[in-house]
């Protein structure tokens, strides 16, 4: 190992004292001089270990309620000096500055304080100034100093110092410096985002510290990574590693099923981010059977999601299908046993947490950001625009179809009947193509579209869609409205006894 340095002194200033004890004991065993701040100093003293208060170095007390305690040339000189620089060494001696070889800091918990709903004043007080400066200084001077900036790194640091009698290589010091700048930049991002809640500054700062290298990206020749806290949303119960495409499907499935979160048992099957089967029934087993009937061909290799615990009867059915992922709020013990029967099948228990309220995607040489589409069409939002008004059953189906439509790639047309997805046209370049695709698909799986309803993600520019739908037996339509030619579609519906409602809300999904 190159340029090993033996630790002789350490500055420790931590908010949370968790996990510190073994480190302090090891440093003490190795005869390291420990400098420390108020609460940390007391913690170390209480362990019966010698510690030098940082005030003895600075000859200043902690002032302004702790806002200034380590911010002093004698502290930062001790960290930032270059040990191979004669001028620095001379100045250290001249000003009686002690050399500091290790800095261990745990910052004030800014993000946790914001998340707790604390007052602005409490949040401001949790902006760590001294700690972040110590981290940056120690990391900058990794040539001589090692910086431990997170509890997560304590175990590794302890191993390093125990294994080599307190001697640490430059590679390790540099690696820890990288970790330190990860901590400091994440911390500043959180602070900026708190100050920039209303986007006064035209800047986007995203900091995800839980990165994961995926097997590959969308295709095997592309690299892929996921940056996010998967474990916050799911408990993975079984199966292989999730791929890039699995993650996209899981995202689509979760967002779709949130529409039915509090409804009767609902089951959805997705392929390539779109629902190819979805049904709502009195039992989950029946919901699954009827979802699968929507398109048993596409369901092969799909992602499955339910809004209720998966029971044995449903698991028995699912087990007959080759599917990549099954997501549910919970699985009964028997269901789990059955579904684990396929080694690679991924089983995810979804937690009851909110999805992010912002969508981000790459665009040109930058990123596009928008609010989440939080509008779900409800019965009270529907405006009857035709002489024929929909029946209650049709209204239920219209809302059901509109929820699926909202989560299907544009242009889309969704056909549904009795709370079952009959077929959809997805991602088509014209609305007529989407409708014709849906009718054709419904025909291939022997759906009788007489009495089915149609949902469209955006308005009908011409009356052609209602004309085609009527010919297929569809008698109720939901769409946002807003075309200058809306009246042509309304007139056709009136002449043919079709009920049409408008929502006023477009649900494009590109």
Ligand X SMILES: NC(=O)c1ncn([C@@H]2O[C@H](COP(=O)(O)O)[C@@H](O)[C@H]2O)c1NC=O
Q: Name the minimum Å distance from CB 23 to ligand X.
A: 14
Catalytic one among 8, 25, 42, 140?
A: 140
* Pick 77 or 130: Cβ nearer ligand X: 130
Hey, what are 498's tokens? Answer: 């079709």
CA distance 77 to 92: 7
CB of 14 to ligand X, least distance (A): 6
CB crowding 272-284: b at 16 or more within 10 Å, else e: ebbbbbbbbbeeb
DSSP string, 19-32: T-HHHHHHHHHTT-
* DSSP assigned state of 331: B
Overall size of the chain counted in residues: 510
Q: Which residue of the set 186, 236, 272, 312 is catalytic?
A: 272
Q: Nearest distance from residue 129's CB to ligand X, in Å?
A: 4
- Lookup: tokens for 77: 């000189």
CA 499 to chain centre: 40
| Under 8 Å between Cβ of 163 and 115 | no
DSSP type of residue 310:
B
Nearest to 240 by CA among 214, 272, 269, 205: 214
- Measured from the CB atom, is 51 or 468 closer to ligand X? 51
* Whether 186 contacts 209, CB under 8 Å: yes
Give 153's DSSP letter: G
d(CA 55, CA 66): 12
Q: Helix 130-140 and helix 73-80: axis angle, to 10°?
A: 30
Identity of the residue, 164 or 182, whose beta carbon is nearer to ligand X in the bound complex: 182
The smaller minimum CB distance to ligand X, of residues 68 and 258, is found at 68
Q: 39 or 504: whose CB is closer to ligand X?
A: 39
Cβ proximity to ligand X: between 75 and 303 the closer is 75
Q: How far is the CB of 160 from ligand X (least distance, A)?
A: 22
449: closest CA among 465, 472, 483, 425? 472
Residue 48 beta carbon to ligand X: minimum distance, rounded to whole angstroms: 18
* Interaction site with ligand X (CB under 6 A): 13-15, 37-40, 66-71, 105-108, 128-131
Give the nearest distance from C-beta 144 to ligand X in angstroms: 20
Catalytic residue list contains 383: no
Alpha carbon distance 416, 451 (integer Å): 9
Residue 417, H or E segment: strand 413-417
Which residue, 34 or 466, is less far from ligand X as judged by CB?
Answer: 34
| Residue 240 CB, nearest approach to ligand X (Å) | 41
**Is 140 a catalytic site residue?**
yes
Q: Give the C-alpha separation, 205 to 203, whole Å.
A: 7
Active centre residues (catalytic): 140, 272
């Amino acid at each position: 190992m190159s340029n090993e340095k033996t630790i002789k002194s350490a500055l420790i200033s931590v908010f949370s004292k968790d996990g510190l004890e073994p480190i302090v004991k090891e440093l003490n065993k190795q005869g390291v001089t420990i400098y420390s701040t108020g609460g940390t100093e007391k913690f170390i003293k209480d362990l019966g270990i010698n510690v030098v208060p940082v005030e003895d170095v600075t000859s200043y007390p902690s002032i302004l309620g702790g806002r200034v305690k380590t911010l002093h040339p004698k502290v930062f000189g001790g960290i930032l000096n270059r040990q191979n620089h004669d001028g620095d060494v001379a100045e250290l001696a001249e000003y009686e500055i002690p050399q500091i070889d290790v800095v261990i800091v745990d910052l004030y918990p800014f993000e946790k304080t914001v998340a707790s709903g604390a007052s602005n004043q409490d949040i401001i007080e949790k902006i760590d100034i001294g700690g972040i400066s110590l981290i940056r200084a120690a990391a900058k001077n990794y040539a001589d100093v090692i910086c431990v900036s997170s509890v997560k790194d304590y175990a590794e640091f302890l191993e390093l110092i125990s294994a080599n009698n307190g001697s640490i290589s430059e590679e390790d010091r540099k690696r820890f410096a990288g970790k330190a700048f990860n901590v400091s930049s994440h911390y500043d991002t959180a602070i900026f985002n708190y100050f920039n809640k209303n986007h006064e500054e035209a800047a986007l700062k995203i900091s995800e510290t839980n990165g994961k290298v995926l097997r590959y990206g969308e295709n095997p020749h592309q690299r892929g990574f996921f940056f996010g806290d998967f474990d916050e949303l799911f408990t993975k119960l079984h199966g292989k590693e999730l791929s890039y495409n699995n993650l996209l499907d899981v995202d689509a499935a979760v967002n779709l099923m949130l529409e039915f979160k509090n409804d009767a048992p609902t089951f959805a099957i997705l392929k390539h981010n779109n629902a190819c089967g979805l049904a709502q029934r009195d039992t989950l087993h029946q919901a699954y059977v009827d979802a699968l009937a929507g398109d048993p061909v596409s369901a092969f290799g799909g992602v499955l999601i339910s809004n209720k615990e998966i029971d044995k009867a449903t698991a028995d059915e699912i087990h007959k299908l080759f599917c990549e992922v099954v997501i549910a709020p919970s699985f009964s013990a028997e269901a789990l046993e059955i579904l684990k029967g396929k080694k690679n099948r991924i089983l995810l228990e979804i937690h009851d947490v909110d999805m992010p309220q912002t969508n981000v995607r790459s665009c040109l040489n930058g990123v596009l950001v928008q609010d989440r589409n939080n509008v779900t069409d409800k019965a009270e939002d529907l405006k009857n625009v035709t002489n024929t008004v929909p029946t209650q059953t049709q209204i239920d189906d219209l809302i059901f179809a509109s929820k699926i439509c909202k989560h299907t790639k544009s242009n889309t047309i969704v056909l549904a009947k009795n709370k079952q997805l009959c077929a959809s046209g997805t991602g088509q370049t014209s609305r007529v193509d989407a409708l014709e695709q849906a009718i054709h698909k419904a025909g291939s799986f022997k759906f009788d579209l007489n009495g089915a309803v149609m949902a469209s993600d955006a308005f009908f520019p011409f009356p052609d869609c209602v004309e085609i739908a009527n010919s297929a037996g569809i008698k109720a339509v939901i769409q946002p409205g807003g075309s200058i030619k809306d009246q042509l579609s309304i007139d056709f519906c009136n002449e043919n006894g079709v009920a049409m409602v408008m929502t006023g809300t477009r649900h494009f999904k590109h």
